[in-house]
Amino acid sequence: MHVHSVTVCEDRIDVVVRVDDDERMRTAGDDAAVRRALELLPGLKQHMCDNAQGITFAEEIADTEVPHLFEHVVIELMTRAGSPRGLKGETQWDFNRDGHGTFRVSFEYDDDLVCLGAIKTADRVMVHILEDTEPPDVEVETARLRDLRLRVPQVEGVPTRM
């Protein structure tokens, strides 16, 4: 899966995600990928999820759309970078309208740069989860995202948030 485009709207950020390989559309049957996701980001187990089945994300992660896992990875990275836990994500798709394997994932955000940075890092995290490549250093990446919240210049010694 890869991020195709990102659009910053006033109240959310919309991401178009494409999955080219039909075999990698869902997490089902890929226990190793699920294990890598939970090892790198244990906080995923605590995630709430609005789904029709009324199950938690901890239960759902074993069989869900890969872009839906991406959605939760982005939210987790934002949370670790200091965003409020209540921010919501949403994953939708309409293959007839958008083309086979195209998903639309959207995010509420408290800070657009933090959300954009989380999307970029999550793209790399997904490569690790799906392809078993070297994982990005989540501590370093989320610390970098946290720093984006406080922006120069400082006014009278007080960091301003624009």
Kindly report the number of other CB atoms within 10 A of residue 133's CB atom. Answer: 11
Does residue 129 bind Zn ion (CB under 5 A)?
no
We find the least distance from the C-beta atom of residue 54 to Zn ion, in angstroms, to be: 12
Block residue for tokens 């999307």: 119
By C-beta, is 33 or 49 nearer to Zn ion? Answer: 49
Number of residues that bind Zn ion (CB under 5 A): 1
Does residue 105 bind Zn ion (CB under 5 A)?
no
DSSP 13-69: EEEEEE---GGGSB-TT-HHHHHHHHHH-GGGGG-----TT---HHHHGGGSBHHHH
We find the least distance from the C-beta atom of residue 91 to Zn ion, in angstroms, to be: 7
* Residue least distant from Zn ion (Cβ): 49
CA distances from 135 to 2, 84, 141 (A): 16, 25, 11
Kindly report the number of other CB atoms within 10 A of residue 14's CB atom. Answer: 14
We find the least distance from the C-beta atom of residue 57 to Zn ion, in angstroms, to be: 6
Site for Zn ion in 12-51 (CB under 5 A): 49
We find the least distance from the C-beta atom of residue 88 to Zn ion, in angstroms, to be: 9
Does residue 119 bind Zn ion (CB under 5 A)?
no
Contacting residues toward Zn ion, per CB under 5 A: 49
